[in-house]
Structure 1
Amino acid sequence: GRSLVWEGSAAVMPDPHWALGIEYRQKPDNLGFAREDDWRDVFAAWFPNKRIAVVAAWADLGSVATLDRQRGPYLSLQMSY
């Protein structure tokens, strides 16, 4: 069957170079062999200029397939030209 799930994010930009926020996603239990937990994270993003973005986050993915307690830090550097 089908079910509705909720997903949302919110962020504030204290100045043009910074974004702080949270994200949340409900996960339905569609896997026949394992349960799925909801996902959540908090993040900070820094944009020193229009070509570089640095994002740091703490993510909690709960159980993914058969792996429990999938949580930890995340760091991303994106550069474009």
Structure 2
Amino acid sequence: MVTFKSLPKDKIEPIHLMITAHSPIGENNNTNFKEIKLKDGTIGQYFGNSLVFNRDHVSYEVLYKNESIPKDQLEKEIIEIANQML
């Protein structure tokens, strides 16, 4: 497992980004998700403030928290981040 975390320097804005990669791919028991099709056809699972997708025998999770934007914009930004990883 590899994890990348990014937190604001000033710690005033509540923005957090964490990307985690797991290999081998573990089981995902979350059944409460929205299926998302990423730019190359990869299917991801969006729930809450995170998106999980599998590629090349690795499972990636993009967790993004930004309380200063609406939930629909948060979802779009998480998808954009995931698409940049493909």
Question: Relative CO higher for 1 or 2, CA cutoff 8 Å, sep ≥ 6?
Answer: 2
Q: TM-score range by the shorter chain?
A: 0.3 to 0.5
Which has the larger strand fraction?
1
- Which protein shows a greater Rg? 1
Normalising by the residue count of structure 2, what TM-score does the alignment of the two structures yield?
A: 0.32
